[in-house]
């Protein structure tokens, strides 16, 4: 039986999300520089050559993972906004913040963003990071109908949450740690 071009494309299209998910896991674990295409291929249970058929290189693979990360964030924010009991701008932002805190409880998406920030000087990655942040900010603004100051605080708190989680500040006894974590909790 001959393989047709359309069946090859459909196989590639079916595997692309699996490879992207593997890339999210591996890049979140090791960062951009320490993670190889072979690491992603191993996680996806395919050959490195097949990864290169799907993506032009490591940078393109990282960007695809980052774009998938922001898609998941936007979906979580939308779900949070839709489920908000209080449909005021502040109520919606609070509900989106809670949804985001639950989303980053597994740390993969958060760590991918942290690693992306550390290599934002790589042109394509910086552009993808800015694009994702722009989409999240625009969505928060339009969905919540909050003013610019409230949306800026929402994004700033998100970054503070990253800092709290990555540095394991929850429950630390130091006064400065209590100041930074006051009123902010994260699901276990």
pLDDT means over runs of 10, the chain (188 residues): 50 89 97 98 95 96 98 97 96 96 90 96 97 98 98 94 89 93 78
Task: Choose among 72, 115, 98: nearest CA to 158.
Answer: 98
The predicted structure's pLDDT at residue 11 = 81
Start-to-end C-alpha separation, the chain: 52
* CB within 8 Å of 89: residues ≥ 6 apart: 144, 145, 146, 147, 150
**Distance from the Cα of residue 177 to its chain's centroid:** 25
pTM to 2 decimal places: 0.89
* Structure letter (DSSP) for residue 86: -
Q: How far is residue 59's CA from residue 180's CA, in Å, rounded to a whole number?
A: 34
The predicted structure's pLDDT at residue 183 = 86
The predicted structure's pLDDT at residue 179 = 94
Pick the CATH number of 5-181 from 1.10.357.10, 1.20.58.2030, 2.60.40.4070, 3.40.50.1470: 1.10.357.10
- Write b or e for each residue in 112-144: b if 16 or more Cβ atoms lie within 10 A of its Cβ, otherwise e: bbbbbeebeebeebeebbeebbeebeebbbebb
The predicted structure's pLDDT at residue 1 = 47
Domain positions in the chain: 5-181
Q: Where are the alpha helices (DSSP H) in 45-187?
A: 48-54, 58-83, 89-103, 108-118, 123-144, 148-166, 175-181
């Amino acid at each position: 039986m001959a393989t047709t071009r359309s069946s090859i494309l459909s196989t590639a299209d079916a595997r692309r999300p699996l490879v992207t998910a593997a890339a999210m896991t591996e890049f979140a674990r090791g960062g951009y520089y320490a993670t190889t295409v072979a690491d992603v291929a191993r996680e996806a249970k395919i050959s490195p050559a097949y990864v290169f058929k799907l993506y032009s290189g490591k940078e393109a693979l990282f960007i695809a993972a980052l774009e998938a990360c922001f898609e998941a964030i936007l979906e979580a924010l939308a779900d949070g906004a839709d489920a908000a009991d209080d449909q005021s701008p502040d109520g919606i932002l609070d509900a989106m913040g809670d949804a985001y805190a639950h989303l980053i409880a597994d740390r993969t998406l958060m760590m991918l963003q942290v690693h992306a920030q550390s290599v934002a000087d790589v042109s394509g990655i910086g552009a993808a990071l800015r694009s994702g942040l722009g989409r999240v900010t625009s969505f928060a603004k339009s969905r919540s109908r909050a003013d610019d100051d409230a949306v800026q605080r929402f994004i700033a708190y998100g970054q503070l949450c990253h800092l709290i989680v990555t540095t394991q500040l929850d429950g630390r006894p130091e006064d400065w740690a209590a100041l930074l974590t006051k009123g902010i909790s994260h699901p276990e």
